[in-house]
Structure 1
Amino acid sequence: MAFAQDRTVSGKVTGTDDGLPLPQVNILIKGTTNGTFTDMDGNYSLTVPSGSTLIFRYLGYVTQEILVNSQTVVNVQLAPDATSLGEVVVTGVAVGTDKKNLGFGLSQVKNEQISAVPALDASNTLRGKVAGITIVQSQGDGGASVSLRGAKSVFGNISPLIIVDGILTQQNLSDINTDDIESIEVIKGAAASSLYGSLAAGGVIQIRTKRGAQGKEGIRIQYRGEYGISEVENVHPTASTHPFKILPNGDFDLTSGSRELTDDGTWNPYPSYNDNFGNLISKQPYYMNLVSVQNSLENYSFYMSAQHQTKGMISEVLDPEERLNVRMNFDIFPSEKFTAKISTSYQQNTLTPVSRGGQGTFFSDALLVEPFIDFTERDEDGDYAVFPTGFDVVNSNVANPLYQYENWEYDDTNERFVVGLDLRYQLTDNISFNVTQSIDKFNSYSKRYYPKGYKTATPNATLNNGNYSISNNRESYSVTSAQMNFNKKFGDFNVSATTKFLHEYNFEDGFNANGRELVTNGVYDLGALSQDNRNIGSYQRETVSKNAFLSTDVIWKDKLIFNGLVRRDGSSRFGEEERWQTFGRVSLAYRITQDYDLPIFDELKVRASYGSAGRRPTWRAQYETFSVSSSGISGSVLGNANLIPAVNKELEIGIDGEFLNRFDFQINYASSVVENDFIQRRLSAVTGYNTQFQNLGAVESTAFEFQMGAEVMNKSNFRWDANMTFDIIRSEITDLAGIPPFTNGYYRVETGEPVGTFYGNKLITSLDQLETDGSGNVINAWNADGIPLSEFSVNNLGYVVLTDDIGTPQETAFYFNDPDNRGAKLQTIIGDRNPDFKVGLSNTLTFFNNLQLYFLIDWKQGGDKYNATNQYLYFNTRAADQEEYARLGHHTNFSISANSLYNGNLPASHFIEDGTFVKIRELSMSYTFKNPVSFVEDVRLSLIGRNLLTFSNYGGFDPEGYDENFDFPLYRNYTVSLQIRF
Structure 2
Amino acid sequence: MRKLASLLAVLMLFNALAFAQQREVSGSIKSEEGTNIPFASVTVKGTATGVSADANGKFSIQAAPNATLVISAVGYEPKEVSARSTTITVSLKAAGNLQEVVVTALGISKQKKSIGYQISSVSPEEFNKVRATDISSALAGKVPGVQLLGTPSSNFGEGELRLRGISGLSNQSPIYVVDGTIVNLSAINLDDVESISVLKGPVASALYGVRAASGAIEVKLKKGSKRKPTVTVNSLTEFGNVALLPKYQNEYGGGYSQEWETFTYNPSIHPASWAAFNGQKLVEYGADESWGPRMDGTLVREWFSWYPGDDFGKETPFSPHPNNVKDFYTTSKRYNNNVSFEGGGENSSFRFNYNNRYQELPFPNTKRQENLFAFRGSLNITPKLTVSTNVNYSVIDQLGDRSEGYTNDGQNISQNFNQWFQRQLDIKKLRDYKNPAGGYKTWNIRSPIDTRAAYWDNMYYQVYESFRRTWQNRIFGDINISYKILPFLSFSTIARASVLNYGGDGRIASYGLEIPSYNINNGTFQEYNFENRLEFNKRFGNFGVRQLVGSNFMTQARKYNSASTVGGLSVPGLYSITASIDRPSVGNTWLDYRLNSLYTSGSYDYKNFLFLDVTLRNDWSSTLLPGRKNNFLYPSVASSFVFTDILETSAKFKEILSFGKLRAAFGRTGTAPDPYILNPTYGLGTPYGSNPTMSVPTSVYDVNLKPALTKEYEIGTELKFLKNRIGLDFAWYRRDGTDQIVNLSVTNSSGASSVYLNAGLIRSEGFDLSLDIAAVKTRDFSWDVQFNVSKNKSKVVDLDTAKGLRNLNLGTASFGPSVNARVGEKWGAIIGTRPLIDEKTGLPVITSAGNWVRQTNQILGYSLPDYMGGAVTTIRYKNISFTGTFTFQKGGMFYSTTRLWNLYSGLSAETVGNNDKGNPLRDDPADGGGIRLDGVLADGTPKTVYVEAQTYYSNMYGLHTPFLSKSSYFKMAEAKLNYTIKANSLIKGVNDINVSLICRNPWLISAPAKKWGIDPSELENGNSYYEGGQLPMVRSYGINLTFGF
Give TM-score scaled by structure 2 length.
Answer: 0.77
Aligned to 1:29: none
Matches within 5 A, 1:309-388: 309-315=357-363, 317-351=364-398, 352-360=400-408, 361-367=412-418, 368-374=420-426, 375-376=430-431, 378=433, 380-381=435-436, 385-388=440-443
Matches within 5 A, 1:139-150: 140-141=154-155, 142-150=157-165
Aligned to 1:680: 743
Matched residue count: 867
Matches within 5 A, 1:168-247: 169=182, 171-213=183-225, 217-242=227-252, 244-247=257-260
Aligned to 2:833: 761
Determine if contact 2:746/2:755 at 8 Å carries over to the other structure. yes
Determine if contact 1:386/1:455 at 8 Å carries over to the other structure. no
Q: Please list the CA deviations of residues 821-872 of structure 1 after superposition, one character each: whole Å capped at 9, or x if unmatched.
A: xxxxx21111222223123111112211x21111111122232221111112
Aligned to 2:88: none
C-alpha change, 1:382 and 1:252, in structure 2 (3 Å) is closer
C-alpha change, 1:878 and 1:383, in structure 2 (3 Å) is farther
Determine if contact 1:635/1:690 at 8 Å carries over to the other structure. no
C-alpha change, 1:284 and 1:262, in structure 2 (3 Å) is closer
AA matched with 1:158:
Q
Matches within 5 A, 1:301-316: 301-315=349-363
Identity %: 22
Aligned to 2:21: none
1:591 is aligned to 2:606: no
Determine if contact 1:144/1:174 at 8 Å carries over to the other structure. no
Distance in 1 of aligned mates of 2:639 and 2:396: 45
Comparing 275-284 and 293-302, the one that deviates more: 275-284
C-alpha change, 1:617 and 1:879, in structure 2 (3 Å) is farther
Distance in 2 of aligned mates of 1:957 and 1:200: 33
Distance in 2 of aligned mates of 1:969 and 1:884: 26
1:119 is aligned to 2:123: no
Residue among 864, 871, 874 paired with 2:903: 874
Determine if contact 1:384/1:402 at 8 Å carries over to the other structure. no
Local SS of the residue matching 2:105 = coil
AA matched with 2:996:
S
Determine if contact 1:438/1:478 at 8 Å carries over to the other structure. yes
Q: Please list the CA deviations of residues 58-87 of structure 1 after superposition, one character each: whole Å capped at 9, or x if unmatched.
A: 9975241434989xxxxxxx9997864532
Listed as ranges, the gaps of 5+ residues in structure 2 are: 1-64, 86-90, 264-278, 298-317, 813-817, 922-928, 934-945
Determine if contact 2:554/2:595 at 8 Å carries over to the other structure. yes
Distance in 1 of aligned mates of 2:218 and 2:904: 47
Q: Please list the CA deviations of residues 609-646 of structure 1 after superposition, one character each: whole Å capped at 9, or x if unmatched.
A: 11101223222432335554536735421145543222
Aligned to 1:283: 331
Matches within 5 A, 1:885-900: 887=920, 890-891=930-931
Shift of the alpha carbon at 1:947?
A: 1.6
Determine if contact 2:763/2:794 at 8 Å carries over to the other structure. yes
Distance in 1 of aligned mates of 2:825 and 2:341: 53
Comparing 616-625 and 129-138, the one that deviates more: 616-625
Determine if contact 2:104/2:110 at 8 Å carries over to the other structure. no
C-alpha change, 1:58 and 1:597, in structure 2 (3 Å) is farther
Aligned to 1:33: none
Distance in 1 of aligned mates of 2:479 and 2:101: 21
AA matched with 2:172:
I
Matches within 5 A, 1:842-881: 842-848=872-878, 850-881=879-910
Distance in 2 of aligned mates of 1:53 and 1:181: 33
C-alpha change, 1:617 and 1:851, in structure 2 (3 Å) is same
Determine if contact 1:376/1:385 at 8 Å carries over to the other structure. no
Determine if contact 1:233/1:949 at 8 Å carries over to the other structure. no
1:941 is aligned to 2:999: no
Determine if contact 1:837/1:862 at 8 Å carries over to the other structure. yes
C-alpha change, 1:311 and 1:906, in structure 2 (3 Å) is farther
Distance in 2 of aligned mates of 1:692 and 1:724: 46
Aligned to 1:446: 504
Aligned to 2:531: 481
Aligned to 1:497: 547
C-alpha change, 1:176 and 1:902, in structure 2 (3 Å) is farther
Aligned to 1:815: 854
Local SS of the residue matching 1:118 = coil
1:614 is aligned to 2:670: yes
AA matched with 2:480:
D
C-alpha change, 1:572 and 1:640, in structure 2 (3 Å) is farther
C-alpha change, 1:81 and 1:680, in structure 2 (3 Å) is farther
1:657 is aligned to 2:719: yes
Distance in 2 of aligned mates of 1:356 and 1:146: 19
1:427 is aligned to 2:485: yes
Comparing 837-846 and 604-613, the one that deviates more: 837-846
Matches within 5 A, 1:952-971: 952-954=1007-1009, 955-960=1012-1017, 961=1019, 962=1024, 963-971=1026-1034
Q: Please list the CA deviations of residues 182-240 of structure 1 after superposition, one character each: whole Å capped at 9, or x if unmatched.
A: 11001112111111111111111111111124x6x111111222112122220122332
AA matched with 1:526:
I
C-alpha change, 1:569 and 1:705, in structure 2 (3 Å) is same
Determine if contact 1:245/1:253 at 8 Å carries over to the other structure. no
Aligned to 2:978: 926
C-alpha change, 1:57 and 1:309, in structure 2 (3 Å) is closer
Shift of the alpha carbon at 1:921?
A: 0.9
Determine if contact 1:603/1:658 at 8 Å carries over to the other structure. yes
Give TM-score scaled by structure 1 length.
Answer: 0.82
Determine if contact 1:882/1:895 at 8 Å carries over to the other structure. no
AA matched with 2:644:
T
Comparing 928-937 and 738-747, the one that deviates more: 738-747
Q: Please list the CA deviations of residues 875-934 of structure 1 after superposition, one character each: whole Å capped at 9, or x if unmatched.
A: 322233222586566459999999976567546111111222111111111111111311
Local SS of the residue matching 2:423 = coil
Local SS of the residue matching 2:476 = strand
Aligned to 1:777: none
1:273 is aligned to 2:320: yes
1:980 is aligned to 2:1038: no
AA matched with 1:150:
G
Aligned to 1:605: 661
Distance in 1 of aligned mates of 2:333 and 2:732: 44
C-alpha change, 1:869 and 1:424, in structure 2 (3 Å) is same
Q: Please list the CA deviations of residues 643-683 of structure 1 after superposition, one character each: whole Å capped at 9, or x if unmatched.
A: 32221100000112222222222110001101111211112
Q: Please list the CA deviations of residues 136-186 of structure 1 after superposition, one character each: whole Å capped at 9, or x if unmatched.
A: 11653111010111103223x31101111122x1x2224322111111001
C-alpha change, 1:751 and 1:626, in structure 2 (3 Å) is farther
Shift of the alpha carbon at 1:489?
A: 2.3
Aligned to 2:176: 162
Distance in 2 of aligned mates of 1:248 and 1:897: 21
Shift of the alpha carbon at 1:245?
A: 1.9
Determine if contact 1:741/1:749 at 8 Å carries over to the other structure. yes
1:568 is aligned to 2:640: no
C-alpha change, 1:65 and 1:491, in structure 2 (3 Å) is closer
Aligned to 2:940: none
1:541 is aligned to 2:594: no
Local SS of the residue matching 2:390 = strand
C-alpha change, 1:53 and 1:572, in structure 2 (3 Å) is closer
Shift of the alpha carbon at 1:295?
A: 1.1
C-alpha change, 1:388 and 1:764, in structure 2 (3 Å) is same
Distance in 2 of aligned mates of 1:183 and 1:493: 30
Shift of the alpha carbon at 1:57?
A: 11
Aligned to 2:99: 86
Aligned to 1:648: 710
Determine if contact 1:761/1:907 at 8 Å carries over to the other structure. yes
Distance in 2 of aligned mates of 1:470 and 1:258: 34
Comparing 870-879 and 652-661, the one that deviates more: 870-879
Shift of the alpha carbon at 1:501?
A: 0.5
Distance in 2 of aligned mates of 1:507 and 1:52: 58
AA matched with 2:511:
K
Aligned-residue RMSD, C-alpha: 3.5
